[in-house]
Structure 1
Amino acid sequence: MPPAATGPRDSSKSLASFSPPLRADDIVNRRRKVPKTQWGVAAPASSSTFKIASNLGSKPQSKRWDHLLSPEALSRHPSSVKSAAKYLSQPGLISLGGGLPSSNYFPFSQLTISVPPKGGPFADPSPTPHTTVTAGKNDQANGTSLADIATLFQYGQGTGSAQLLRWITEHTELVHDPPYADWGCTTTIGATSSLDMALRMFTQRGDMILGEEWTFASAVETAAPMGVRIVPIPMDAQGLLPVELDRVLAGWDERARGARKPRVLYTVPTGQNPTGATQLPTRRREVYRVCQKHDVYIFEDDPYYYLQMDGYVPGMAATEEAKPSHESFLASLIPSFLRIDTDGRVLRMDSFSKVLTPGARIGWVTASAQIIERYKLHADVSTQGASGISQLVLFKLLEDHWGHGGFVDWLIYLRKEYEGRRRTMMAACEALLPREVVSWTVPDAGMFLWLKIDHTKHPGAGEKSIAELEEEVFLGTIRHGALVMRGSLFQADRDSPLGALFFRTTFAAASEENIREAIRRFGEAIREVFGLEVGEAAGKQGILAVEV
């Protein structure tokens, strides 16, 4: 049977009651005033300084999580040296304290980047000239910008610079508007580092955490050396099944499992890696209620959140549509776990990696003030915050050039681009893969397509294991000149035998022409391994007939 088509964007995904209280283009005018000293070298900063909403007093405070935090997290104290940085803002102070090298000896006087104009066009190569944005060494002193080389290339706080933290806090308020008062953000060096630190905060050696049965490979590999294992929770086309989550927790037997009842759920709720599954609003609320019932804390790893796409219909050609407003785009996004978190039981991990550039190594986490404070204490003596060079580049782009509205315009552009790439991938699969053995569910978000191969139709199915068949298909695909990822790499419980044969493909990196050609080669390999006849569409000339 052909895979079911997804329909147009489901209006039930957005919840009117969660409409953001801010408009992207109004943020600058509504900002709270802060003293100029807030932008100085290594200035301590907190999201509470930068929140705009006037209704924080009517929101509840978060719960406290001392009973879930690890002894390591509870025992952390402020960095004694960094704590002294708060005095640097005192007028007339001459510092002989911190070991900060003089910016006179930074061999950088100017940083210049070329970026797309605010509002676009964003295409690369661009039909119009890009804009040159420049950061000087002493722009703060000259009054031309809040961020410069002398400040952001210097040592800083674990929170990251106050300049970028303000932008991130405002963006989080615009998009997610957490329903409790004492939430906050802090910058990170990416989602994998965020998960590493979060696991150390909430788990101990011998613990088990909950996660999707197919999950982000690095999550398994980050947890394993800590002595932490992932309990696989069955999934469907929407991802994690709340009834199965509840069943596992309600029936937990510490003696049989060899571990105490899990305290943490790790989930990738949007465009899940590797399956592409996306939890709709009702599913997220059901998962959240199960976590409330069993007092489980949620790690929401959501790097693909903004890559939510309109529905896909097989054979439907690309159409020119009016660009949505900022408000309608944000309203179309599925409410995050953070947005429905009334307890403060969610640590949300965001990243610029999938929407700007992975090499910047900048993301951020959002959680209750207690958790952010514990996280910052860890960062102060480990990562010490994201690269100042990267922070300055992103600040110049996001604050001084695009602004919040310009970033939303970029996200709207990305959605359209990824919809086109997905359309190319799906058309190629429909035309070039042997549908008698390969099936899939069209992803509504992200950058991955999860392909299931019916291993029972292999001539040697009764004699060969699924792992052996996976190896045959994988090596056969390599011989034909394409690379796809084995499904076994994403198995949450790697000690269990494979129960099904999957491969993960991505429509993110290759050109559309190469996406089609790679799928053709993958189809050839499957036919060869399964002893299937080569159909006309799978022949070398068949690729030319695939239209999108």
Structure 2
Amino acid sequence: MANSHVEVDLSHHLSDTARNIRPNPLKAMYKYMGVPGLIAIAGGMPHPSLFPYEELSAVTLKPDTYPLDGSQPDNNSSLTWLWSLFKSSKSKTQLHIPKYADSGSGADPIQLSTALQYSGVVGLPPFIEFVRNFTLKTFKPAYPDFQVLANSGNTDGWTKAAAILCQPGELILTEEWTYPGALLSPWPAGVRPFPVPIDGIGMVPEKLEALLRDWKEHEHEGKRRPHVMYTIPVGQNPTGAVMNGQRKKDIYDICVKYDIIIVEDDPYYFLQFPDYRRKSERSLRSLVPDVISAETSRQYLDTLAPSYLNFDYQKRVIRLDTFSKTIGPGCRLGWTTCNAQFAAIMVDYSASTTNQTSGISQALITQLVSKQWGYDSFIRWLRGLATQYTARRDGMVDCFFECSSIGVIQRNNSLYNGAPVYDAFARPTGSVYHSYDEKFPPNGKTLFSFTIPNSGMFIWVTVHLKHHRDWVPVPAPGSALEFLLWSELAKGGVMVAPGYMFSTDESDVPTSTELASAHARSEYAHMRLSFSSASGSVLSPRRQRWR
């Protein structure tokens, strides 16, 4: 790339908060703590001999526990006993962390005396070593001197990024539907989202460029053009869109042109799936070789969408990764990748706010994925997880196709930027039909439509409220019918997330007064359905509740 070695000063993006952060002088001493022979009497550190934990042991699964063909039945299935006959008797292993590692464990061993102690904000050295090497091999950043630092999950990482970048009252670029928790982090500072239209593969470059090019401050209450973008490019929450490499390059080039910092929130990166196939079209066994090796890891990673880091020759990307979706969210552990300037400021900011990330979580995860498994075995674990979530996605979509009260067809000649759109309509029996038959017989009137995601944990459903007998065309925000649909599903034992929760337009969020209104107002509503927490055997008896 012609501009790959051009240094760009990004310091003008820093907020007043970032400029006024002062380093914690006590934290500066930690870099000396490992010096042999040092007599450490400067800090108020508890003596590790007084920690009550002498050792930590756990039984863990092996990295190849989940087959790559997704053939393992549901744990609640009647076939579970059959699976147990074929499953390896050595599918579990022991993990052990002592209070004090033996002398042959290297310069920075994983031990409880360190994990339970105060430590540097960046992260425990073995953890940082692993995630830096993982980032280098997996995401291939476009510049060599990138920095990584531990965080307490992606929400924590984003909160810190927003704090050092955003001034009070500023606007940030987001997808038009996005994760509400991310919007709430900078909300108290008056930071608000400015939505960019999306399609089947995420944010639309032409729409982004148009709004940046045509920005006029007097049309936006005197606010300057946004200089920070928050995006979930893979398994976009809530839509499930996956942004490919070309789209990312196009958006990155626009961000270079208009001087935008990209915050890439990517918790679902390793939950990328193949296209959905109907049951009759699925083979029992795939031809994917189940071998743990550098070559199979490379082949698998080549099938995944690249990170923005791969195009980041100007060091303007802050990437957020987490173990929440791949190990467990209760660990509250992830890492931030960015340039050295941003990293140093986030370290100082963390030192005066959250301080260090949990040492126990760092020790547990590093011992497992780095010491016990290693890079290629961890990649094999991630591949197995992806096949399990593929099966769960397929199970939920199967329920749509198999529900006796609705029919599902692919919309003729309609693609959402390459993704087929499916319409669900009422069959001429059942309670759904009786809600629609007075004005709209089921000959083509769509109840809801959806696309099938290739990543993440969610199916994004568009409900066609305008086809309901109680709908009236009142041009106002909010939707009584949307709330009614949500509450009726909940009463029937199915909890979904109403779409307005993910809107970046405040006018889309109905007030309590609007929800009590007798009239429906919007032509469409949305629902986010999670297939991650409900498997086929759980969903199957509930599919009739769509009626």
**Alignment partner of 2:45 out of 68, 89, 100:** 100
The SS at the match of 2:230 is: strand
Q: Which amino acid aligns with 1:132?
A: Q
Task: Note the 1:30-69 alignment, pairs <5 A.
Answer: 60=5, 63-69=8-14
Q: Does 1:467 align with 2:473?
A: no
Q: Does 1:390 align with 2:361?
A: yes
Q: Does 1:164 align with 2:163?
A: no
Aligned mates of 2:542, 2:121 — CA distance in 1: 43
The SS at the match of 2:507 is: coil
**Alignment partner of 2:465 out of 445, 455, 459:** 455
Q: Which runs of 4+ in 1 moved over 6 A?
A: 122-126
Query: Quick check: 2:458–2:531 contact (8 Å CA) kept in 1?
Result: yes
Aligned mates of 2:544, 2:234 — CA distance in 1: 28
Q: Which amino acid aligns with 2:284?
A: T
Identify unmatched segments of 5+ residues in structure 2.
76-83, 291-295, 408-423, 426-446, 510-521
**Alignment partner of 1:507 out of 521, 531, 542:** 531
Task: Note the 1:108-507 alignment, pairs <5 A.
Answer: 108-120=53-65, 127-129=88-90, 130-141=92-103, 143=105, 146-258=109-221, 259-315=223-279, 316-321=281-286, 322-323=288-289, 325-432=296-403, 433=406, 435-436=424-425, 437-462=447-472, 467-496=479-508, 500-507=524-531
Identical counterparts, % of pairs:
30
Query: Quick check: 1:62–1:180 contact (8 Å CA) kept in 2?
Result: no
Aligned mates of 1:294, 1:280 — CA distance in 2: 21
Aligned mates of 2:252, 2:401 — CA distance in 1: 36
Q: Which amino acid aligns with 1:224?
A: W
How far apart are 1:118 and its partner, in Å?
4.4
The SS at the match of 2:193 is: strand
The SS at the match of 1:495 is: helix
The SS at the match of 2:479 is: helix
Q: Which amino acid aligns with 2:99?
A: K
**Alignment partner of 1:80 out of 25, 40, 47:** 25
Aligned mates of 2:540, 2:203 — CA distance in 1: 31
Q: Which amino acid aligns with 2:318?
A: L
> What TM-score does the superposition give when structure 2 sets the normalisation length?
0.82
Aligned to 1:24: none
Aligned to 1:43: none
Deviation digits for residues 50-89 of structure 1 (CA, Å, limit 9, x no counterpart): xxxxxxxx96365331111102112223210011122223
Aligned mates of 2:452, 2:466 — CA distance in 1: 23
Aligned mates of 1:515, 1:387 — CA distance in 2: 36
How far apart are 1:496 and its partner, in Å?
4.4
The SS at the match of 1:132 is: strand
Identify unmatched segments of 5+ residues in structure 1.
1-16, 18-57, 525-548
Q: Which amino acid aligns with 2:215?
A: W
Aligned mates of 1:218, 1:182 — CA distance in 2: 31
Structure holding more strand per residue? 2
How far apart are 1:201 and its partner, in Å?
0.8
Aligned mates of 2:126, 2:4 — CA distance in 1: 26
Aligned mates of 1:118, 1:272 — CA distance in 2: 26
Deviation digits for residues 300-322 of structure 1 (CA, Å, limit 9, x no counterpart): 00000000111112343253122
How far apart are 1:477 and its partner, in Å?
0.3
Closer, same or farther in 2 for the Cα pair 1:166/1:261, shift >3 Å? same
Aligned mates of 1:510, 1:353 — CA distance in 2: 18
Closer, same or farther in 2 for the Cα pair 1:377/1:499, shift >3 Å? farther
Task: Note the 1:526-537 alignment, pairs <5 A.
Answer: none
Query: Quick check: 2:173–2:229 contact (8 Å CA) kept in 1?
Result: yes
The SS at the match of 1:210 is: strand
How far apart are 1:478 and its partner, in Å?
1.1
